[in-house]
């Protein structure tokens, strides 16, 4: 039998679901349909990247990302954001 999700895991899953709902074609979000598909892909990539990079024990970092994600989703739904881009940096070398 699988273990139930923690409260933090449920928050992350709900945030992802809320993004996918807000960005699906025909939703009431105040951005263009072409931008929705691009933003949807960026959101998927960010969630997947963070799932690999972050450990489940990084509670503070995950909670911070959830709060930032909520604010960004609210801005998207209100039409204050028209597009999203990502910037990738090479991994930091530790001496």
Give the model confidence (pLDDT) of 25-37 as tens digits.
888 888 888 888 8
Is there a domain that residue 1 lies in? Answer: no
Is there a domain that residue 2 lies in? Answer: no
Is there a domain that residue 34 lies in? Answer: yes
Is there a domain that residue 66 lies in? Answer: yes
Is there a domain that residue 84 lies in? Answer: no
How many domains does one find in the chain? 1
Is there a domain that residue 87 lies in? Answer: no
pTM here? 0.83
Q: Note the pLDDT of residue 13.
A: 97
> H or E segment at 78?
helix 59-78
Domain extent, residue 37, equals 7-78
Is there a domain that residue 31 lies in? Answer: yes
Confidence of residue 1 (pLDDT cuts 50, 70, 90): low
Question: Is the separation of the CB atoms in 29 and 37 below 8 Å?
Answer: no
């Amino acid at each position: 039998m699988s273990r139930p999700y923690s409260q933090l895991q449920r928050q992350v899953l709900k945030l992802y679901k809320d993004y996918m709902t807000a960005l699906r074609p025909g939703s009431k979000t105040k951005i263009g349909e072409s931008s929705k598909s691009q933003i949807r892909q960026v959101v998927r990539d960010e969630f997947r990247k963070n799932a690999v990079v972050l450990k489940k024990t990084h509670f503070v970092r995950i909670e911070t990302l959830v709060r930032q994600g909520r604010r960004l989703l609210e801005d998207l739904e209100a039409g204050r954001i028209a597009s999203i881009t990502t910037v990738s940096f090479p991994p930091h070398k530790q001496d």
